[in-house]
Structure 1
């Protein structure tokens, strides 16, 4: 049962709600402009008067002590200090007899020894600065000018609009997640349960029942099916029926688990925009290591433990059950996030981040294992795609929300909010996941060194994993999670804007990934997608290194999102093509686990490599260095592809020229 109507219903409801939200955003924007603009402009004038009155009082005091006004020294320093304490003030100028005696601020407000703010602006243009003039006591020829950017109100209003736009995007994605949960658990999952029960009954397992508790029309349908089965049941295979009912019940919980994974992923994504900046604030000198290398250590250790813990947690979940590992991982993450928010030095933060990494690895591998347990092989790809969709949605929502929250309440409080989300996800999983062991009776083992040796002996696997997957993770971690937030923060960009910049990457991943996957399947040229994607990622690093404003950052992040969207699906599809013998010997799950483990080494190396480049070459040089590494990996990948082309099957010998 494809349930296309349910999918159409989801998209229809999402579209209606999105339009309503868009209209609401337009109304709120207009309301903010009409309501708050008249209130902000007088407040700016009062702020200028307060700042100017403080400076005037200092100068009047010096004059009252007998100093001559035109011979006062240190006035420039006084103006500079007042300006530094009030960044929204653009200039302070002491004017005596029409000529500047002291000045501090933007040079655009003056021309030589006179102020230009009194000049009339060109026709049709508003003045660049709002100039407030304060007279000095006992000297009519002396005046203090306090200038505020006339565009400050407009930029403040635009900031509100951008925040509302980010909230709109997040609200739409959150609405999709809630609709998937509500419609899926109330309509789609019960209908799938009815379908599964009817199929089991057709196979002779008459002991199965829908057993729905819903009081709606779907519940009425379920009870009607149960009454029909009661009336025709004579002899049922109860053992098979119990197994079928267990499988049907697990399948119903996959939809509900997606929302728990979304909430849990959101907890980590909230910290993406400021994590490297937060680490920088806790920096303490370490002998023999640069500041950039020390800042990269917590991120690298997080990625390393995440990679190493996944196969271990997967093996434990096979023996102890998915539920126990999920809950244990969520609680570890809760403790780690709380510890990150309360850390007072770098050592405490590293310990807390290590706990968080183990927790995240445990949660994701347990959730993925439950999805595999609960679905039939024919439905498994769709179920895993739905599970991964929750992670991608969190990647879009997290940076935008986290940037706004961090800008309003600070980094530490944002970590505590993340910890609360991790605890909420644990509570949801506690209700969704079955109490029994999900994989009893299965034999499992973790990755072994022999598996790695067997895979690494395949040069095509090496070309794919080491020179395509590893650079993709290296670029993501080094550029998006490490260098870019630090560079933008160093330029004075707010946390809200950093969150919006990172938001663009995940949006493009969501939009472009399905299209890239479809095109790669149709063309069959997966190697070409990997080469083009790798080169675009290298180009993104060079764009990010260019001097400029947020425009270059947005362009570079957009290119990186498109590049990684082109790499994702073709990599996994190509893995099946290049590892035929390895999959036969080790099994598909082991080969994928080996591939994922090697892939995450890129995330481990990235902070150290980026920190090394940053310490020696600065932000622009570090970004270019990462781009050069990505380009070199593409070159090696092409070389390996040329040297180790797949041999044609023996049944189809190559033609020889006549």
Structure 2
């Protein structure tokens, strides 16, 4: 397709994709502020609150790896619309859930919808727009999505204190009611005619089962589930090693830099996941903040990322990733230790804000360079695959942290109902999060080096239909252009032989997608060219694994 961004159809496509993906991005940040009210309303213990967060993350992390491949095969608009409808139905069920069990099941259904619509929205942009406008369209999509993720806690708090916690979920229903008819009327259908091969459904099932069993062992404290999870993980590795079309090609970990940066990612996003889960509870349960005030209190971290990540990414390009990936986690660790000052009747300006500003500066320092280093640690043809794996690692880390941290800190089932008990366990948990970040900083300092510039032909199976524009993040710009959209720059033309860059994002739950991570058939389906523009699969050589789809923000949307 060659839709121009300035055309009416182009604006409709942007509106539709932003509206759809924003539901998932908002969901990753609005739910935490509602947790105390959910617990009180449903008479639920702490484990239910953990599952309310993790049920969504489980299905999202486990299935998002296949979302882009499904769109390539069956139609990107079709899969996107299916994801929006599925997400809306899950949200409706969350909003009317009569008990905790129904809420947890509904959250898992939401994750399935998110796994379809998040990669689908970016794939539609990649496939629909003229090559000259594609990078600016990605910039608008990710920039507006970053803003949505940033205002999520504030919006969630306003809804909880106003119409009630159920509207944190029900708000998605009218958004979907607008998004679906607009998509069907204005978004063109595209698919990859070269997409073929088998989907690695067994790999996806084993990966999700591994996370589910380990999570259950930590939250439910079921002794048998831990060894079972390890056993299933071993089977998963064996299956992926033997398949010709694996969801997770283990050969990519031969890159020492890629492996090291993913280890840093695990540390960083485990700490982030535990921090944001517990801090929203601490502000409400111990400090006595309302849901609205607690949500607004967290805004400095995301605002700083939106405003300063572009400059941080540019600085990292000049001095290399080692220093930012070392200093960033240390600043975040310092911010988490400063949160120990937040107790009963904590003053925002003197107790809460300094900690969040220090942590926000640490996030600014590390998140965008982290993503750029991941993309630069492998051949350019595998950048999409690398992005997907890194995003999945971040989501899995946050998932496991939410499951493990309350157990390690000694939180009882009713801890969040007592300011005294929760405050004591929070003071034990924050040093743990800080320690994980220090470990990440040590790994970065000892193993991370500047990626070597790469050029050369695209690997077999990578295709060439959409390889010219390869950036990601809020503020992506057209390759070779001087001015960007959103809040920064970061797209590089692969034709120029340079590494893909990702300077800007608002990745609280996970790093952003690299656009090619959602447009190929190699990540979970064998053969065929890689990402394409929907009408021309590209002259890439013969069958082979392309970069394929990967997961999106956190938390997850996002961010």
Q: Give the structure with the higher percent strand.
A: 1
1:618 corresponds in structure 2 to 425
TM-score (structure 2 length as normaliser): 0.64
RMSD: 3.0
C-alpha distance 312-576 of structure 1, shift in aligned 2 (>3 A) = closer
Count matched residues: 391
Pairing partner for 2:261 from 464, 471, 476:
464
2:6 corresponds in structure 1 to 189
Q: Is the 8 A contact 2:14 2:125 kept in 1?
A: no
C-alpha distance 284-495 of structure 1, shift in aligned 2 (>3 A) = closer
Q: Is the 8 A contact 1:317 1:324 kept in 2?
A: yes
Q: Is the 8 A contact 1:333 1:360 kept in 2?
A: yes
Distance 1:270 1:647 in 2: 36
Distance 2:136 2:314 in 1: 15
Distance 1:577 1:339 in 2: 42
C-alpha distance 356-188 of structure 1, shift in aligned 2 (>3 A) = closer
Distance 1:284 1:462 in 2: 43
* 3-state SS of paired residue (1:344): coil
2:378 corresponds in structure 1 to 579
Distance 2:429 2:147 in 1: 30
* 3-state SS of paired residue (1:189): coil
Q: Is the 8 A contact 1:263 1:425 kept in 2?
A: no
2:388 corresponds in structure 1 to 593
Unaligned runs of 5+ in 1: 1-184, 191-213, 215-248, 286-290, 650-658
Matched, 1:604 2:399: yes
C-alpha distance 278-457 of structure 1, shift in aligned 2 (>3 A) = farther
1:363 corresponds in structure 2 to 117
2:330 corresponds in structure 1 to 535
Q: CA deviation at 1:293?
A: 4.3
1:563 corresponds in structure 2 to 362
C-alpha distance 376-564 of structure 1, shift in aligned 2 (>3 A) = farther
Q: CA deviation at 1:520?
A: 1.8
* 3-state SS of paired residue (2:30): coil
Pairing partner for 1:636 from 439, 443, 465:
443
Distance 1:330 1:615 in 2: 39
Distance 2:252 2:153 in 1: 36
2:537 corresponds in structure 1 to none
TM-score (structure 1 length as normaliser): 0.55
Distance 1:640 1:619 in 2: 32
Query: Rg larger in 1 or in 2?
Result: 1
Distance 2:83 2:181 in 1: 12
Distance 1:262 1:315 in 2: 17
Distance 1:400 1:477 in 2: 18
1:488 corresponds in structure 2 to 283
Structure having greater relative contact order (Cα 8 Å, sep ≥ 6)? 2
Q: CA deviation at 1:270?
A: 7.1
Pairing partner for 1:454 from 251, 258, 262:
251
* 3-state SS of paired residue (1:466): helix
Q: Is the 8 A contact 1:513 1:569 kept in 2?
A: yes
Q: Deviations over 1:368-408 (max 9, x none)?
A: 11122124566544332221112111112322222122112
Unaligned runs of 5+ in 2: 204-239, 242-247, 412-423, 455-559
Q: CA deviation at 1:257?
A: 3.4
Distance 2:341 2:365 in 1: 24
* 3-state SS of paired residue (1:440): coil
Q: Is the 8 A contact 1:260 1:428 kept in 2?
A: no
Distance 2:51 2:444 in 1: 29
Pairing partner for 1:474 from 264, 270, 276:
270
2:545 corresponds in structure 1 to none
* 3-state SS of paired residue (1:368): helix
1:554 corresponds in structure 2 to 353
Q: Is the 8 A contact 1:327 1:429 kept in 2?
A: yes
Alignment of 1:343-492 (within 5 A): 343-375=97-129, 379-434=133-188, 436-443=189-196, 449-450=240-241, 451-467=248-264, 469-480=265-276, 482-491=277-286, 492=288
Q: Is the 8 A contact 2:146 2:306 kept in 1?
A: yes
Q: Is the 8 A contact 1:472 1:564 kept in 2?
A: no
Q: Deviations over 1:207-232 (max 9, x none)?
A: xxxxxxx8xxxxxxxxxxxxxxxxxx
Distance 2:81 2:116 in 1: 9
Q: CA deviation at 1:307?
A: 1.4
Distance 2:197 2:133 in 1: 23
Alignment of 1:40-59 (within 5 A): none
Alignment of 1:165-204 (within 5 A): 189-190=6-7
